[in-house]
Amino acid sequence: MFGYLAPEFQALLVSVIPRQALTTLVMHMRADERADLYRQLTEEQRDALMPTLARAEREDIRRLASYQEGTAGAIMTSGYAALPLDISAAEALAVLRCEAPDKETIYRAYVVDNSRELLGSVRLQDLITASPRARVSELMKSCSYQIDVNAEAEEAARRIAHYDMIALPVVDADNRLVGIITHDDALDVMEAGATEDFHRVGTITHLESGVSSASIFMLYRARIVWLMLLVFGSIFSGAGIAHFEDTIAANLALMFFLPILISSGGNAGSQSATLMIRALATGEIGLSDWTRVLGRELVLAILLGTSMACAIALIGVMRGGPQIALVISLSMILIVMVGSLIGMLLPFLLSRFRLDPATASTPLVTSIADATGVLIYFSIANVILSIPHG
């Protein structure tokens, strides 16, 4: 039960649980959860806990906790089943029978040599159905999907999801087996990554804890920076409107359509950005695909803009006449085109500079599209409405 509690609550309980009870608790925890708890403790709490543990547990905790956060090593566990190469299926089952209570999973055991080099893996199903005299070397298969201990945790999670694996072996630079990452830990990594991306899409900086436990100041700090930047970004929209005051004063009907056009550009850009961010995150497309995606997005934007222009043209005729309808129609096509291209290109641009493409979020795309849309709309209006009637 302790392993399912929030990390902050675990650290709080450690400070009140008697030492002997805490030692028993830690000894029964899963290896990776012990390491996670160790990272939450203060130096004083660590110094009090570690001498009470067996030497093997102390070394295991320190080793697992030593890997950098966000790497495969930081989320792996040492609770894997290992078998030597030169034993029979019956002997292998006997080994697994003894190891099973302390292992994360025994559905797949890993075959290693005396130096712990990973040679392959064997399924429990194959050991059970094979002849008792069959050798492990005959039943094992090579491990094609192992991952380096210093690789990104999200890459490990993606491999587990892509190949539908129960566990992914983790190796060091010498191909020695150092741990496994189980599917439940991969799910935690993917959930944390998705939460972080959602926050970035909403232009919210990193939260150190969940929303329910975050303080007002923490939430304020996470949101204020981007909101202030976007406020100053909106000044460009206001400056564009001020620049065309004479055109607006002579044609007040233009103001009726301003929110419609601006929101259309922002919405189109947000849709495009969302599609690109997700495609880049899943590896469906790469940076080298931007020219191909650009051509498709341009054609799609023209079709979308033209359809939306047709839908609003009749209202333009009714509100301001044929010239206003022409201004609105042309503006709609160009604004949707520009908004879509901004939404598509920003994730690629951020990825090119090794920044998170999720930063190209809805508020950011909308702010840029708004300022651009105002300039497009009133520039077209200024040109067309200055032409003398018939």
Task: Report whether pLDDT(260) > 80.
Answer: yes
Task: Report whether pLDDT(205) > 60.
Answer: no
Distance, CA of 20 to CA of 13 (rounded, Å): 14
Q: Is there a contact between 143 and 118 (Cβ–Cβ < 8 Å)?
A: yes
The two beta strands, 167-171 and 177-182, are antiparallel
The two beta strands, 167-171 and 105-112, are unpaired
Q: Mark residue 321 as left, alpha or beta (left: phi above 0; alpha: psi -120 to 50; beta: remaining).
A: left
The stretch 114-119 carries a mean pLDDT of 93
Q: How many other C-beta atoms are found inside a 10 Å radius of the C-beta of residue 60?
A: 19
What strands, in cross-sheet order, belong to the sheet with 80-83?
80-83, 105-112, 118-123
Which of 84-88, 122-126, 207-211 shows the lowest mean pLDDT across its residues?
Answer: 207-211
Q: Residue 11 half-sphere exposure, CB side, CA atoms within 13 Å? A: 15
Residue pLDDT, tens place only, 178-191: 999 999 889 888 88
Q: Which of 271, 69, 29 is nearest to 153 (CA)?
A: 69
Structure confidence at residue 297 as a pLDDT band (50, 70, 90): very high
Q: Is there a contact between 360 and 346 (Cβ–Cβ < 8 Å)?
A: yes
Mean residue pLDDT of the chain comes to: 86
Q: Is there a contact between 279 and 310 (Cβ–Cβ < 8 Å)?
A: no
The rounded radius of gyration (Å) of the Cα atoms in the chain is: 30
Q: Is there a contact between 337 and 301 (Cβ–Cβ < 8 Å)?
A: yes
Residue pLDDT, tens place only, 24-75: 888 888 888 888 888 888 888 888 888 888 888 888 888 888 899 889 999 9
Q: Is there a contact between 88 and 62 (Cβ–Cβ < 8 Å)?
A: no
Residue pLDDT, tens place only, 132-175: 999 999 999 988 789 999 999 999 998 998 888 899 999 999 99
Q: Residue 223 half-sphere exposure, CB side, CA atoms within 13 Å? A: 9
Question: Using CA atoms in the order 192, 198, 199, 202, what is the torsion angle rounded to 10 degrees?
Answer: 180
Residue pLDDT, tens place only, 368-379: 888 899 999 999
Structure confidence at residue 199 as a pLDDT band (50, 70, 90): low
Cα–Cα distance list, 69 to 14, 66, 154, 189 (Å): 22, 9, 11, 11
Task: Output the pTM of the full model.
Answer: 0.63
Structure confidence at residue 93 as a pLDDT band (50, 70, 90): very high
Domains within the chain, CATH numbers bracketed: 2-66 (no CATH), 74-200 (3.10.580.10), 216-385 (1.10.357.20)
Question: Using CA atoms in the order 185, 168, 276, 354, what is the torsion angle rounded to 10 degrees?
Answer: 90
